Structure 1
Amino acid sequence: MITLENDQLIVKINQHGAELVSAWNKEAKLEYIWYGDPMYWGRHAPNLFPIVGRLQGDQYHLAGQTYYMNQHGFARNMDFEIVDHDVDYVRFSLSDSEQTWRIYPFAFRFDVIFRLKGTKLFVDYEVHNPDKQKSLFFSVGGHPAFNLPLDGGKFSDYYLSVKPEKVYDRLRLVGPFSNPNMPTPFNADIPLRLRQEDYHDDAIILKLDRQKTTFLLARLANQHGMEMTVDNAQYLGIWTPAGKDAPFIAVEPWWGIADTVDATGNFKEKFGNNVLAAGDTFNGTYSMNFF
Structure 2
Amino acid sequence: MAVTIQNDYLQATIVEKGAELTSLKANGIEYIWQADPAFWGRHAPILFPFVGRLKNDQYTYKGQSYPMNQHGFARNAVFALIEHSAEKAILELASNEETKKIYPFDFRFMVSYEVWGEGLRIRFEVENTGQEEMIFALGGHPAFNVPLEEGLKFEDHYFAFSPQKTRVKIPLEGPFANLDQKTLGQTNTSIKITRNLFANDALIYETKGLNTFTIASEDSVHRVTVAYNHIPYVGLWSPYPKEAPFVCIEPWWGFADTVDSSGKLEEKAGMNRLAPEQKFKTQFSITVN
* Cα drift, residue 111 of structure 1: 0.7
- Residue 130 of structure 1 contacts residue 279 of structure 1 at CA under 8 Å; is this kept in 2? yes
**Paired letter, 1:16:** K
- Residue 10 of structure 2 contacts residue 118 of structure 2 at CA under 8 Å; is this kept in 1? yes
Q: TM-score, normalised by structure 1?
A: 0.97
**Paired letter, 2:169:** R
Q: TM-score, normalised by structure 2?
A: 0.98
Instruction: Determine the C-alpha separation between the residues in 1 that align with 2:282 and 2:61.
Output: 25
**Paired letter, 1:51:** F
- Residue 95 of structure 2 contacts residue 107 of structure 2 at CA under 8 Å; is this kept in 1? yes
- Residue 47 of structure 2 contacts residue 74 of structure 2 at CA under 8 Å; is this kept in 1? yes
For residues 11-90 of structure 1, the aligned pairs below 5 Å read 11-25=12-26, 28-90=27-89
**Paired letter, 2:167:** Y
Could you give the per-residue CA deviations for residues 230-284 of structure 1, whole angstroms, max 9, x where no partner exists? 2221110000001111000011000000000000011011100000011111112
- Residue 113 of structure 1 contacts residue 123 of structure 1 at CA under 8 Å; is this kept in 2? yes
**Matched position secondary structure for 1:181:** helix
1:257 aligns with 2:258: no
**Paired letter, 2:68:** M
For residues 119-198 of structure 1, the aligned pairs below 5 Å read 119-131=118-130, 133-151=131-149, 152-198=151-197
- Residue equivalent to 2:231: 233
- Residue 118 of structure 2 contacts residue 287 of structure 2 at CA under 8 Å; is this kept in 1? yes
Could you give the per-residue CA deviations for residues 120-173 of structure 1, whole angstroms, max 9, x where no partner exists? 000011110012x30000000000000011123111110111111111111000
**Paired letter, 1:185:** L
RMSD of aligned alpha carbons: 0.9
Instruction: Determine the C-alpha separation between the residues in 1 that align with 2:187 and 2:71.
Output: 27
* Cα drift, residue 220 of structure 1: 1.7
Aligned residues: 287
**Matched position secondary structure for 1:195:** coil
* Cα drift, residue 222 of structure 1: 4.7
Instruction: Determine the C-alpha separation between the residues in 1 that align with 2:270 and 2:282.
Output: 14
Instruction: Determine the C-alpha separation between the residues in 1 that align with 2:257 and 2:210.
Output: 24
- Residue 165 of structure 2 contacts residue 189 of structure 2 at CA under 8 Å; is this kept in 1? no
Structure 1 stretches of 4+ with a deviation exceeding 2 A read none
- Residue equivalent to 1:276: 274
Structure 2 portions without partners, runs of 5+: none
Structure 1 portions without partners, runs of 5+: none
1:98 aligns with 2:97: yes
- Residue 61 of structure 1 contacts residue 267 of structure 1 at CA under 8 Å; is this kept in 2? yes
**Paired letter, 2:247:** I
Instruction: Determine the C-alpha separation between the residues in 2 that align with 1:284 and 1:271.
Output: 20
Instruction: Determine the C-alpha separation between the residues in 2 that align with 1:222 and 1:111.
Output: 36
**Paired letter, 2:179:** P
Instruction: Determine the C-alpha separation between the residues in 2 that align with 1:282 and 1:212.
Output: 18
- Residue equivalent to 1:214: 212
**Matched position secondary structure for 1:102:** helix
- Residue 135 of structure 2 contacts residue 273 of structure 2 at CA under 8 Å; is this kept in 1? yes
Instruction: Determine the C-alpha separation between the residues in 2 that align with 1:165 and 1:240.
Output: 22
Structure 1 stretch 171-180 or stretch 151-160: which is displaced more?
Answer: 151-160
* Cα drift, residue 189 of structure 1: 2.1
